[in-house]
Amino acid sequence: MKLTLRSMVSMAALGAAMAACSPAAEQGSETPPSRAGLAPGLFDAGTAIWNLELTASVPPPDGFFDLETVMIPLSLPAEAEGDEVTDDEGTGETADADDVPADMPADGPADVEDADEEDSGPGLLSFANSDLAFTGDRVIMGGFHGFNVYDAANPDDPAHILSVVCPGGQGDVSVHGDLVFFSTEQNRGRLDCGNGGVEGDSSPERFLGVRIFDISDLGAPRQVAAVQTCRGSHTHTLVPHPTDEDIAYIYVQGTSSPRPDSELAGCSGGEPDENPDTALYSIDVIEVPLNSPEQAAVVSRPRIFTDYETGEIAGLWAGGALEDGGQTAASTVACHDITVYPEMGLAGGACGGNGILLDITDPVNPRRISDLADPNMAYWHSATFSNDASKVLFTDEWGGGLGARCRAEDPENWGANLIADIVDGEMELRGYFKIPGEQSDIENCVAHNGSLIPVPGRDIMVQGWYSGGLSIIDFTDSENPFEIAFFDRGPLGPDALRVGGYWAAYWHNGRVWAPEIARGLDVFRLHASGHLTANEVAAAELIRFDEANTQTQLHITWPDEPVVAHAYLDQLARSGALDETGLATVRRAIEGWDAGETDAASLAAAAELLAAATDPQAPADAHRMAELGAMLMRTR
Amino acid sequence: MCKSVTILAIGLGLAAAPLALASPPIFQPGAPGGAARTLTPEQSIEMAQTGHSAADARFMQHMIVHHGQAVAMGELIADRTTNAEIALMGERIARSQASEIEMMRAWLEHRGLSTRMSHDTDMPGSMPEHGSHALASGMNHASHDAPSDTPVMPGMLSPAQMAQLEAARGTDFDSLYLTGMIHHHQGAINMVTALLAGSGNGMDPQLSEFLSAVIADQAAEISRMRGLLADL
């Protein structure tokens, strides 16, 4: 375990302590340890770890951490029933006994009209870390205050090299070469990354949308473009041009209410029957000429919720009577996030009340081909495809990420993952997964961002669950997903819910990278266990990408290597798809290859044996046998 | 059990640090095309200072009352419907809004503000003449008159509508609940829209995220409730 410690004035006063588990007895065990009752602490919280090893913890850098802000409680205990004090004077005014602080006049706070004078410092979430992007040896961590760049040439000792301050949340990041794309959605966002001075409902200084930074000169990062959008940018997704390497597209997902036309021309809200130009019911598509990013501009606002038969823009509305009178919000009006899978020409949209599947072969004009609604899903939040795009996993961010939703009393399919199979282009519900309800009521927890771990022959994903830690699941059988590894910390502090935990957990180049909202950046190695052999881990660690943005899903192809073949064989042994004799025959062939004594006859015999043993009723094993057989034949 | 490795940072100089390496630079970019300037860590922290407006505080005080009614509506479900999907939906809404009430109270108290709705004229349609729970439940503490047809604020059910909901059973209840909650959610969305139309509101990052969440979550729930209403 390598510790990276930096001087942090505010923390030094604390006597900052960083604790980590050394892989101990529970490594490799079939039975997970309990996650219940872990001790609170900022850098010394209790931990539970299973089949993983924490190899680095990089605390937030100076200027991006403030102890008081991190420790602001998000929630106070609910009002007890019977607290009410009824005023019998006949005014009808009642108040709760504990409502009025002793130092406050009973008719309300005296300072409410000039509240800013009593500024209580940076607000909660001001320094929250959010998403990650990877390029070369660099890891970029976005956040509500800007972004930070790390040199991860040694992944078990990432070094912080650069901070860029640009407040405005959420700081969802992507990277392409030297360009960093950065989402801004909060009302305080300024064009110049400054603070304050954006007053009223329209200000020329306000910025809501996607910024583009050039970090080619680490001594002088520059903002080169700021593309305004009607609803800002909660998240965004980088979409490569199908043929032109000099052009990239950005899908912009804004979830705020539309800005007025007075601030940004062409923006308006309302329902499409009254306002066909409404900024609701669409995403924004930005085209970025990569050699002149300053020319980036919105080129389309596709109506991806349209009913293509009737032309109804609000096409995902399930129907039913409109309420009488008044403005009505309708169905799915925005996407929270979109994961594109360019190699497959597909995208998975997590769009509030629906999960949708898009055809993106024409990226400027994505078209919906399937949609799903589900009574267990509160808020469709993000999507991850299986590598072969036969499945898509959606997360449900019930409670918005700030709520404690992984308690024993929380239903197991709420705030969970939903797994759908994609059958003939249509999504069909198969199953759910949620981590065990062992989190406390002072830990924000719900399903959140993750990515595939490239184990051949299996669908395995790592994801963050905020203060529920991070979790790795196998969803090869989409009806029966199960957990194979996790790491969890106790809450940030005692007695009150504070916002922390893993925004995401992503696999990249042999490690799990996990941005912690309050505690910085963590790195993990995956360990072999009863659920995962050393060969399967090694095969996953072979996969390397120079650049990776998780919501731009990359297709994984495994090299013809003995360890990959062994990984498939381990799976066939685990499932019992091959008998001992068959396993031994194939294993000998692979071992000969591994020893540099490639024997064409025995490889061919092994491939034949696999073909003969294939049972189409067991699709996962049939796929493994086909892949392994083909590899052996190529190797002959 | 985990063994823990603990390193204590002692004082400001971090005696444990072998070398006083220069801290990586902190840049604040300019507007597009402009040059970045460097900041000290202290200046960086100051860049996160945001206040709140009087309207922000009033919004939170009102939204506590507004959410309270959703919780009160949820409490009626168990004895009045046999529709499992509506029970599921209602339970989830009530749980979500109850925890958001706790969040809003904490936000106000952290700023030394009252968690109580006070009389003002800037929140359209508000009638701050009652305590929050009394308002939410639609109870009429003041007299034995018939419940009022006037809601406490737009987008809430009036005391008369709450009484009607309490008296309904079965499909009648389902229909009233869904119609009422759709109206209620729409009211919350409208409150957010009205707040953001005002000058200097919604600058606080937590509030800003909450405002977006109200719009996004409640639009999604409206969609689901409309579907349920159509299936009755």
Mutate to test the interface with B, among A10, A26, A51, A79 (most CBs of B within 10 A): A79
pLDDT at A318 over 70: no
Tokens at B150, concatenated: 């006037």
Strands (E), A185-296: 209-214, 222-228, 235-240, 247-253, 284-289
pLDDT at A488: 98
Lowest mean pLDDT among A305-319, A384-398, A553-567: A305-319
pLDDT at B125: 39
Mutate to test the interface with B, among A69, A75, A149 (most CBs of B within 10 A): A75
Tokens at A600, concatenated: 């064409």
- Contact between chains at A16 and B106 (C-beta distance less than 8 A): no
**Residue B19 near chain A (CB below 8 Å):** no
**Residue A467 near chain B (CB below 8 Å):** no
> Does B103 reside within a domain?
yes
Mean pLDDT, residues A256-261 taken together? 88
pLDDT at A197: 76
Task: Tell me the count of A-B CB pairs closer than 8 A.
Answer: 418
- Contact between chains at B4 and A19 (C-beta distance less than 8 A): yes
A193 pLDDT band, cuts 50/70/90, is: very high
**Residue B52 near chain A (CB below 8 Å):** yes
CB A536 within 8 A of CB A570: yes
H or E element: which one contains A339?
A: strand A337-341
**Residue A350 near chain B (CB below 8 Å):** no
Using a CB-CB cut-off of 8 Å, the residues of chain A touching B28 are: 164-166, 193-194
Cis peptide before A170 (omega within 30 of 0): yes
> Does B4 reside within a domain?
no
Mean pLDDT, residues B33-59 taken together? 94
Q: Which residues pair with A175 in a beta bridge?
A: A180
Mean pLDDT, residues A41-56 taken together? 97
Query: What's the gap in Å between the CA of B16 and the closest CA on chain A?
Result: 9
pLDDT tens digits for range B64-91: 999 999 999 999 999 999 999 999 989 9
CB A221 within 8 A of CB B27: yes
CATH number at residue B160: 1.20.1260.10
pLDDT at A214: 97
Residue B193, domain extent: 51-118+155-231
Distances (CA, A) of A400 to A331, A352, A518, B182: 18, 11, 17, 20
pLDDT tens digits for range A444-482: 999 999 999 999 999 999 999 999 999 999 999 999 999
**Residue A37 near chain B (CB below 8 Å):** no
pLDDT at A222 over 70: yes
Backbone torsions φ then ψ of A342, nearest 5 degrees:
-55, -40
**Residue B203 near chain A (CB below 8 Å):** yes
Lowest mean pLDDT among A111-120, A336-345, B50-59: A111-120
- pTM equals 0.87
Residues of chain A with CATH 2.130.10.10: 129-549
Facing residue for B205 by CB, picked from A76, A125, A376? A125
Name the residue with tokens 């403005």. A327
CB A281 within 8 A of CB A303: yes
Facing residue for A379 by CB, picked from B11, B54, B217? B217
pLDDT at B137 over 80: no
pLDDT at A99: 35
pLDDT at A6 over 50: no
Using a CB-CB cut-off of 8 Å, the residues of chain B touching A294 are: 32-33
- Contact between chains at A6 and B23 (C-beta distance less than 8 A): yes
pLDDT at B153: 86
Q: How much of chain A, in percent, has pLDDT values that exceed 70?
A: 86
Using a CB-CB cut-off of 8 Å, the residues of chain B touching A188 are: 50, 203, 205, 208
- Contact between chains at A90 and B36 (C-beta distance less than 8 A): no
Using a CB-CB cut-off of 8 Å, the residues of chain B touching A21 are: 2-4
What is the total count of domains within chain B? 1
DSSP state of A295: G
CA distance B116 to A467: 31
Higher per-residue pLDDT: A111 or A316? A316
> Taking the alpha carbons of A321, A323, A328, A329 in that order, is the dihedral positive or negative?
negative
pLDDT tens digits for range A590-630: 999 999 988 899 999 999 999 999 999 999 999 999 999 99
pLDDT at B53: 92
Using a CB-CB cut-off of 8 Å, the residues of chain B touching A354 are: 223
Indicate the fold that domain A129-549 takes in CATH: Methylamine Dehydrogenase; Chain H (2.130.10)
Burial (CB count <10 Å: 0-12, 13-18, 19+), residue A117: exposed
Q: Which residues pair with A453 in a beta bridge?
A: A460
How many residues belong to chain A?
636
Facing residue for A185 by CB, picked from B5, B115, B212? B212
> Does B200 reside within a domain?
yes
pLDDT at A581 over 80: yes
- Contact between chains at B116 and A95 (C-beta distance less than 8 A): yes
DSSP state of A89: T
pLDDT at A208 over 50: yes
pLDDT at B10 over 90: no
CB B222 within 8 A of CB B186: yes
CA distance B91 to B86: 8
Q: How much of chain A, in percent, has pLDDT values that exceed 90?
A: 76
Arithmetic mean of pLDDT over chain A: 87
pLDDT at B9 over 60: no
pLDDT at A28: 54
CA distance A190 to B98: 34
